[in-house]
């Protein structure tokens, strides 16, 4: 066994030791006792509130009596008997730290206009001068919580706000806000009455047809999800489908992890993802707007096992007919291999194409020929292709110390990246096809 | 008007604590490598669960929800300067690893960011796909891939495997 081959077993042994670490003695009992104590504290708080109320009433009476004592009225007003204390409002569950999801996002519309949003700051910003200035277009009256955004074009955008996950609130509804004037004004247009989960993405293909993709929780090998749809711009929402274990045709399965869906038009969309334990890639399609979903049989490339540990990412259409995604094989014993799939017929069929360079996993194509990818190993080096991924060349490096969360180009020269730093997120722009990058916003 | 505590399934919660807290501790410890911090993460997770217990209507989804919250707490929690009030009487935390520790790897592992540690342990130890890791941690799948690639490259370099 070569020294390199010794790394994996050593790492796995180390991780296994960590996972075998026994919990401290009495931890469970302390957690339960803590919950009991919280209950007791709750009762004490209620008692304290009632005591303060009674004390306040008593004090008020005393003051009133004192005033009457020194007053000029000839006849003291009879002392009022303290009535039944007004009940304190039932304490509501404290809203915990939210959001837990960091759905930082950006969407470059063209060379001058771009949007960005960060749930961590509950802030939406927009530029119309190529990033020289960013305006805060945050809807100040929108409900705080987990914010998911979708930016359709320079003027139209939607915001979905949820108290989930992790707030402790029993409210699972998703409030929908919309702007049609570039964020100058926002309207609360509707609510998706979800009964569980939290929004992972909101998508629109035009000003009226949209979808809310709700995550319902997952475990190794399964991933709960539900779809809500609107046909009136977000005013009304109806539940379209939910993952289950029935195995019935048209049902979205609970198994396998699911990434955010991508819709091509009001009828057709895909959910990419991957399945654990050799389940192969996950790629389901709907042709009725999200009501029914069926497996798209993807032919894995030569050399890939049909039951590979694979996942599909970077699904994107550059126009109504042309689109790409990346299939990556994570099967053990070798470095991950990524292959570009392309369609030229609106997703009716997908053909495997060239492989991506090692340590690159996601792509962004502006047309069937021109695309970019990031070398995740070599300090965020960016590579570009002009022949559909047949050949790649390193063009520059994106300055981000903790990785690049998103990369988008609007033409062959102008692009933005969403970087990650210990202090927060950065917006980074290139105007020369990726050769040089300038950090525009650093928080 | 009677003041009643919102109905909660106390016995169900206690059963969940017994069933889940050990597993949650293992996940948190795998990421944090600090028993006290791992215990804090588990405790915060169960506190949050207790506050939300009446709303966690589907028991089948509780485990996944708890795991997700615990992972995120483990990643994001700041080490406290003072012990938690109701952990003040905590007995000595176990500090014995079940086998001889790999101190060299431990030192390198602790240099990774918490996000990187989370991806490495969730992917290699617990078998989550990278997309599942992204959902658990709460970040983009591409970020997870980047974390994993950087973590492995760092470990291999530090340990002179390349």
Domain CATH code at residue B15: 1.10.1740.10
Q: Is the entire prediction scored with pTM above 0.90? A: no
Neighbours of B6 (CB within 10 A): 14
Query: CB of B148 within 8 A of CB of A361?
Result: no
Nearest CB to A273: which of B35, B42, B131?
Answer: B131
From residue B58, alpha-carbon distances to A12, A195, A341, B116 in Å are 34, 11, 38, 31
Lowest mean pLDDT across A52-56, A324-328, B95-99 = B95-99
pLDDT in tens, B122-142: 887 777 777 778 777 777 777
Domain membership of residue B84 (yes or no) is: no
| Domain match, B105 and B156 both | yes
Domain membership of residue B43 (yes or no) is: yes
Domain final position from B27, B45, B78: B78
pLDDT of residue B130: 77
- Give the domain range for residue B55: 9-78
Query: CB of A287 within 8 A of CB of A267?
Result: yes
Domain membership of residue B85 (yes or no) is: no
Angle at A76 between CA A74 and CA A81, to 5 degrees: 165
Instruction: Tell the residue number behind the tokens 């106390």, with chain if given.
Output: B10
pLDDT in tens, A353-376: 999 998 788 899 999 999 999 886
Whether the per-residue pLDDT at A196 is higher than 80: the answer is yes
| Domain match, B116 and B74 both | no
Nearest CB to A166: which of B26, B27, B48?
Answer: B48
Q: Which residues, in sequence order, are CB contacts of A292 under 8 Å at separation 6+?
A: A241, A249, A250, A251, A286
> Average pLDDT, whole number, for chain A?
80
Query: Which 3 state secondary structure label does DSSP give A191?
Result: strand
Task: State the complex-level ipTM.
Answer: 0.81
Question: Mean pLDDT across the stretch B149-157?
Answer: 84
| Domain match, B122 and B74 both | no
Contact A100 B3 (CB under 8 A): no
Whether the per-residue pLDDT at A436 is higher than 60: the answer is yes
Domain membership of residue B34 (yes or no) is: yes
| Domain match, B13 and B71 both | yes
Q: Which residues, in sequence order, are CB contacts of A289 under 8 Å at separation 6+?
A: A209, A211, A229, A240, A266, A267, A269
Q: Which residues of B touch A403 (CB under 8 A)?
A: 142-143, 146-147, 150
Residue among B47, B50, B28, B49 nearest B125 (CA): B28
**Which A residues in the span 385-404 are in contact with B, Cβ-Cβ below 8 Å?**
402-404
| Domain match, B63 and B108 both | no
Q: Which residues of B touch A37 (CB under 8 A)?
A: 86
Domain membership of residue B161 (yes or no) is: yes
State the total domains in chain B. 2
Whether the per-residue pLDDT at B13 is higher than 60: the answer is yes
Q: Which has more confidence, B162 or A90?
A: B162
| Domain match, B73 and B30 both | yes
**Which B residues in the span 52-91 are in contact with A, Cβ-Cβ below 8 Å?**
52, 54-55, 57-58, 61, 63-65, 67-69, 72, 86-87, 90-91
| Domain match, B108 and B66 both | no
Whether the per-residue pLDDT at A228 is higher than 80: the answer is yes
| Domain match, B70 and B31 both | yes
Inter-residue long-range contacts of A440-443, CB under 8 Å, 24+ positions, other chains counted? A440/A131, A440/A134, A441/A116, A441/A125, A441/A134, A443/A121
| Domain match, B68 and B20 both | yes
Query: What's the rounded Cα separation, in Å, for the pair A374 and A376?
Result: 6
Domain membership of residue B94 (yes or no) is: no
Instruction: Select the residue from A30, A51, A170 to test the B interface by mutation, using most B Cβ atoms within 10 A.
Output: A30
Query: CB of A210 within 8 A of CB of A158?
Result: yes
| Domain match, B119 and B155 both | yes
pLDDT band with cut points at 50, 70 and 90 for residue A403: low
pLDDT of residue B114: 86
Domain membership of residue B2 (yes or no) is: no
Residue among A104, A150, A106 nearest A131 (CA): A106
Question: Mean pLDDT across the stretch A426-435?
Answer: 92
Nearest CB to A217: which of B26, B61, B90?
Answer: B61
Question: Mean pLDDT across the stretch A404-430?
Answer: 82
Contact A26 B91 (CB under 8 A): yes
Question: Mean pLDDT across the stretch A147-155?
Answer: 93
Instruction: Select the residue from A357, A403, A408, A421 to test the B interface by mutation, using most B Cβ atoms within 10 A.
Output: A403
Q: What is the DSSP letter of A24?
A: P
Inter-residue long-range contacts of A417-424, CB under 8 Å, 24+ positions, other chains counted? A418/A104, A418/A105, A418/A106, A418/A116, A420/B143, A424/A118, A424/A120, A424/A121
> Would you call A19 exposed, middle or buried from its count of C-beta atoms within 10 A (0-12, 13-18, 19+)?
middle
Query: What's the rounded Cα separation, in Å, for the pair A344 and A88?
Result: 65
CATH of the domain at B158: 1.10.10.10
- Which of A138-142, A393-397, A404-408, B152-156 is predicted most confidently? A393-397
Domain membership of residue B128 (yes or no) is: yes
Domain final position from B24, B46, B78: B78
Q: What is the DSSP letter of A128?
A: S
Domain final position from B43, B78, B113: B78
pLDDT of residue A421: 61
pLDDT in tens, A254-297: 888 788 899 999 999 999 988 765 678 899 999 999 999 999 98
Q: Which has more confidence, A145 or A278?
A: A145
| Domain match, B105 and B74 both | no
pLDDT of residue A256: 82
**Which B residues in the span 138-157 are in contact with A, Cβ-Cβ below 8 Å?**
138-143, 145-147, 149-150, 153, 155-156
Query: CB of A381 within 8 A of CB of A81?
Result: no
pLDDT band with cut points at 50, 70 and 90 for residue B97: very low
């Amino acid at each position: 066994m070569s020294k390199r081959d010794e790394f994996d077993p050593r790492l796995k042994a180390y991780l296994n030791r960590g996972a075998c670490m026994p919990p401290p003695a009495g931890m469970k009992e302390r957690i339960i006792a803590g919950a009991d104590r919280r209950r007791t504290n709750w009762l004490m708080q209620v008692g304290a509130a009632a005591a303060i109320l009674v004390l306040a009433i008593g004090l008020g009476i005393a003051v009133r009596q004192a005033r009457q004592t020194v007053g000029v009225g000839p006849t003291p007003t009879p002392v009022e008997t303290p009535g039944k204390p007004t009940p304190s409002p039932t304490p509501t569950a404290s809203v915990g730290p939210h959001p837990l999801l960091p759905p930082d996002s950006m969407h470059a519309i063209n060379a001058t206009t771009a949007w960005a949003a960060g749930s961590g700051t509950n802030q939406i910003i927009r530029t119309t001068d190529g990033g020289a200035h960013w305006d805060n277009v945050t809807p100040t009256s929108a409900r705080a919580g987990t914010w998911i955004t979708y930016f359709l074009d320079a003027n139209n955008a939607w915001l979905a706000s949820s108290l989930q996950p992790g707030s402790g609130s029993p409210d699972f509804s998703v409030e929908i806000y919309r702007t049609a004037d570039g964020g100058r004004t926002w309207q609360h247009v509707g609510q998706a009455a979800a009964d569980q989960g939290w929004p992972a993405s909101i998508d629109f293909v035009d000003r009226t047809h949209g979808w809310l993709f709700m995550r319902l929780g997952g475990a190794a090998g399964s991933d709960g999800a539900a779809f809500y749809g609107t046909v009136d711009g977000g005013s009304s929402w109806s539940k379209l489908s939910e993952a289950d274990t029935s195995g019935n045709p048209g049902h979205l399965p609970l198994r396998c992890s699911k990434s955010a869906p991508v819709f091509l038009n009001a009828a057709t969309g895909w959910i990419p993802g991957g399945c654990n334990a050799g389940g192969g890639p996950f790629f389901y399609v709907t042709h009725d707007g999200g009501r029914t979903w069926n497996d798209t049989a993807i032919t894995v490339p030569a050399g890939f096992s049909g039951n590979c540990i694979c996942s599909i990412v970077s699904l994107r259409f550059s126009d109504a007919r042309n689109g790409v995604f990346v299939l990556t094989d994570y099967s053990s014993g070798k470095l991950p291999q990524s292959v570009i799939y392309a369609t030229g017929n609106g997703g009716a069929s997908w053909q495997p194409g060239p492989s991506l360079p090692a340590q690159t996993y996601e792509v962004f194509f502006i047309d069937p020929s021109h695309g970019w990818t990031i070398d995740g190993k070599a300090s965020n080096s960016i590579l570009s292709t002009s022949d559909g991924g047949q050949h790649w060349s390193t063009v520059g490096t994106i300055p981000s110390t903790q990785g690049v969360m998103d990369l988008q180009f609007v033409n062959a020269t102008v692009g933005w990246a969403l970087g990650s730093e210990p202090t927060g997120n950065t917006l980074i722009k290139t105007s020369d096809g990726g050769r040089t990058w300038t950090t525009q916003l650093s928080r | 008007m009677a003041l009643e505590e919102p109905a909660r399934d106390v016995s169900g919660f206690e059963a969940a604590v017994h069933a889940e807290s050990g597993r949650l501790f293992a996940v948190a410890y795998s990421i944090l490598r600090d028993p006290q911090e791992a215990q804090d993460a588990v405790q915060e997770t169960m506190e949050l669960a207790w506050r939300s217990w009446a709303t966690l209507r589907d028991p089948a989804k509780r485990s996944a929800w708890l795991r997700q919250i615990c992972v995120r707490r483990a990643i994001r929690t700041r080490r406290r300067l003072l012990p938690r009030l109701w952990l003040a009487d905590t007995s000595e935390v176990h500090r014995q690893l079940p086998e001889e520790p790999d101190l060299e790897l431990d030192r390198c592992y602790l240099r990774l960011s918490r996000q990187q540690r989370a991806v490495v342990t969730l992917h290699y130890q617990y078998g989550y796909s990278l997309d599942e890791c992204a959902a658990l941690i709460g970040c983009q799948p591409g970020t997870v891939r980047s974390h994993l690639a950087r973590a492995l490259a760092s470990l291999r370099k530090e340990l002179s495997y390349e």
